[in-house]
Chain A
Amino acid sequence: MESRVLTITSGKGGVGKTTAAANISAALALLGHRVAVVDGDIGLRNLDAVLGLESRILYDLVDVVEGRCQLSQALIKDKRLPDLALLPAAQTRDKNAVSSRQMEQLCQQLRDQFEFVIIDCPAGIEQGFRNAIVGADELIIVTNPEMASVRDADRIIGLIEAAGKPEPLLLINRLRPDMIRRGDMMDVADVLEVLHVGLIGLVPEDESVIVATNRGQPVVLEPKSRAGRALTNAARRILGEEVPLEELESQPGLLDRLFRALGTNFNGKRG
């Protein structure tokens, strides 16, 4: 089977990239796929903490590219999820410690061993971003339904376009149906109207994400969490399953509006 390298990016920080990367990776592993998740945020790592694997780091990504260890020595197996492995970032270096070429080679090495390579991209549009997208076959943009993060997502989509990568898919995170209903938050159609890209998932704001993150436990392992279910559904869509988009609680007519938005936004590509 062809392995797939998938980068999760956003431009803006704090929108939930790392949470999305950790949980989509965990969900794919739960669904029986061999997954490596790579922390691209050199110098500001926290994917390891989100996955609760911080204490097990011996070597990191920079050690691998600089030849101080074998790739297999740096990969951390997740005990809860035998199909998931983490390649942690170095904390004592910065984004310029790795070149795009080295990152590309690293992706190639990971392809040999895993079905999915998920890269958690750092915020920003500098070297760290370029490294995170250089080896990617597919990209997911995480955005929140607010102006600043949508604008950054737009900028990132332009950069991805310019890098000759395929069109990214959108994961809208931290949706709050109550605020949308009051007209205090952009809704899904508003976001799509600006960005004109396809959707991979809609994740509601959910306290269980914070609780799970603090415990170092992927939220997709918690069957009661709405965000966990939404992220699992995103993973299923990545696998090609047709999972209907979550009807956000108590928001009448959302899907109608959504489909209308999709219909008008993708008219250039439907043929």
Chain B
Amino acid sequence: MHSQDAQNQPATDSESEELVEQIEHTEETSRTLARRLLKGTRNGLLLTLEPNYTWAQVLEVLTARLEEAPTFFHGALLSLDTRQRPLQAEELQTLQQVLTRYEMTWREVGGEELNDLRLLPGLTGRDSPLEGNSPDLPIRPGRDATDTLLTRRTVRSGQRLRYAGSVVVLGDVNAGGEVIAGGDVLVWGMVRGTVHAGYPENEQAVVCALGLAPVQLRIGSLTSRPPEDGSLAPAIPEIASVRDGQIVVESWNAGRGRRR
């Protein structure tokens, strides 16, 4: 019994009745089922796993929807709501097969992440630490590099924010926290944790922050650590970028900003 269960709404009587109805009117079932299990959100599809439906039914709903608009869903993100029923390993395999056809990626969401999903388009896989660390989820490099995720929070120790586009954090990135972005990372606060811009190998990306004192800074495939002489980084706005194959950190001068 895990802690997030407390937040789940148990199926109400009216919902179970609805289920009975669906089984009776088979004609109507597939469309109702699709509406129930598969919803469009601002950042892709949300598939809900419910204990009352078999995996075959769920998969059928998904496949039917994807076939309706194959180009539209190409490369898109599928979110899986596994709060009511976990995904089994063999189910994952069949899911992967379907998703590979459309070059789609997936991630698991539950509880708080579901709220994020509605509020924050494209938040791909913040760890749900109470449930153990989720595996690293694939992100789509480059494709959405023009998208920007704005998040108003402190990224705390043990939390990880991954996004295919650029990320703006209104808050700090604390030691032990991670931000990984396909594009630029802008932190309106202090960076004390790890930031990786231009994941996996976009060296045009930059990291800027009101104060840069990261444990580690990565841009593309390059990594830099702060000087080990113990000197404290000045808490002034700085920008890190790649120049001549090296990460260079400079103070941010208004009016002389780098233009790309």
Contact = CB atoms under 8 A, between A and B. Distances in A.
A159 interface: yes
B105 interface: no
Contacts of A125: 129
B82 interface: no
A159 B176 contact: no
A193 B190 CA distance: 9
Q: Chain B: interface residue count, which band?
A: 20 to 34
Contact of A163 (B130, B158, B177): B130
Interface in B1-56: 1-4, 6-7
Nearest to B1: A101
Interface stretch (B85-93, B149-157, B218-226, B240-248): B149-157
Contacts of A100: 1-3
Interface residues of A, number: 22
A155 B176 contact: yes
A83 to B, nearest CB: 30
A164 interface: yes
A1 interface: no
Kindly name the residue among A101, A134, A162, A163 whose own CB sees the greatest number of chain B CB atoms within 10 A: A162
A9 B53 CA distance: 41
Contact of B111 (A152, A159, A164): A164
A66 to B, nearest CB: 16
B187 to A, nearest CB: 14
A106 to B, nearest CB: 14
Interface string B123-159: 0000011100000000000000000000010101111
B157 A158 contact: yes
Contact of A162 (B1, B6, B128, B190): B128
A196 interface: yes
A2 B134 CA distance: 38
A162 B112 contact: yes
A99 interface: yes
Nearest to A155: B157
B2 A162 contact: no
A151 B157 CA distance: 7
A95 interface: no
B6 A157 contact: no
B157 A162 contact: no
A127 B3 CA distance: 10
Contact of B7 (A157, A164, A268): A164
Contacts of A163: 3-4, 130
A222 B136 CA distance: 53
A130 B156 CA distance: 18
Given A154-B176, A163-B3, 5 more contacts: A151-B176, A155-B129, A155-B156, A157-B156, A196-B172
Q: Which 4 A-B pairs have the closest CB atoms?
A: A158-B156, A155-B157, A154-B157, A155-B158
Interface of A: 99-101, 104, 125, 130, 134, 151-152, 154-155, 157-159, 161-164, 193-194, 196, 268
24 contacts: A100-B1, A100-B2, A100-B3, A125-B129, A130-B3, A130-B130, A151-B175, A151-B176, A152-B157, A154-B175, A155-B129, A155-B158, A155-B176, A159-B130, A161-B112, A161-B156, A162-B111, A162-B112, A162-B128, A162-B130, A164-B7, A164-B112, A196-B171, A268-B152
